[in-house]
Amino acid sequence: MRYLLVIPSIDIKDGKTVRVVQGIPELECKEYGSDPVEMAKIWRAENAKLLHVVDFDGAWEHSRKNYKIVEEICSSVIIPVEFAGGIRNLDDAKQIMDTGISRLVISTMALENPDEFKKVFETFGPQKIVTGLDILGNEIITRGRKRKTGISYKEFVKNMAVMGVERFIVTDVERNGMLKGPNLELTKKIALLTEKKVTHSGGVSNKDDLIEIQNLMPFGVDSAIVGRAFYENKFPCQRLWRVAESGIFN
């Protein structure tokens, strides 16, 4: 039997672990402990198989000030680390790859500078580069969820799939950090549109939500990123971890 891979999220701002409601800077930014490296060790001790790290300083200010912390996280745990936040060009991508991350999530660049994204994608390949989708209604949001693009996600994801992208991370911005349940229909639609692997993100509040996401596995949804619900102990973590499928990082 195949199981959903559950991925803890570590969101970093000003060198600290935070949880940002809906990923929007104007809303409450709650601190969860001061040390992202120690948080990574905690999730590893809870038997996590993969970590999702988001750099909000990078996403909002195109800053690289947290790269050292990311490097420390990668060297402190033996599990893969996935990174998102503020990658605008090939040089950014090379620098963050040098920290030891296993997979890089790119959002804004793929939409605003497709030629540069193509360079990054061709340099590192579909095993290392995935596309992140922050969606509000049917519209893609960029630049750390601060900028509305007016562009529908449907044609965009089709184009990314044609380019060769093998995985999409899907976030319904309205539900992110709200503990109001996942937007299953949106995640399923993107899986069907692309026929690629999909990671769900946003809205998970309890184990029943994870079971509902797991029911989407026949459509290509194989993993879920969980943030606030873990930090606020909405369920016992240890019971949720599953052994990753051999192809989960493809």
115 labelled catalytic = no
Tell me what percent of the chain is helix, strand and coil, each rounded to the nearest 5.
Answer: 40, 25, 35
The Cα-based distances of 114 to 109, 110, 198 in angstroms read 6, 5, 21
Task: Report the phi/psi class of residue 85: left, alpha or beta, with left for phi > 0 and alpha for psi in -120 to 50.
Answer: left
Q: Is 134 labeled as catalytic in the residue annotation? A: yes
Separation between Cα atoms, residue 198 and residue 185, nearest integer Å: 13
Burial (CB < 10 A; 0-12, 13-18, 19+), residue 80, is: middle
Selecting among 55, 134, 172, 209, the annotated active-site residue is 134
Burial of 56 (0-12, 13-18, 19+ CB in 10 A): buried
DSSP state of 235: S
From the candidates 11, 55, 92, 222, which is the catalytic residue?
A: 11
The Cα–Cα gap between 73 and 100 comes to 9
Residue 38's contacts (CB-CB under 8 Å, 6 or more residues apart) are none
Q: Active-site positions?
A: 11, 134
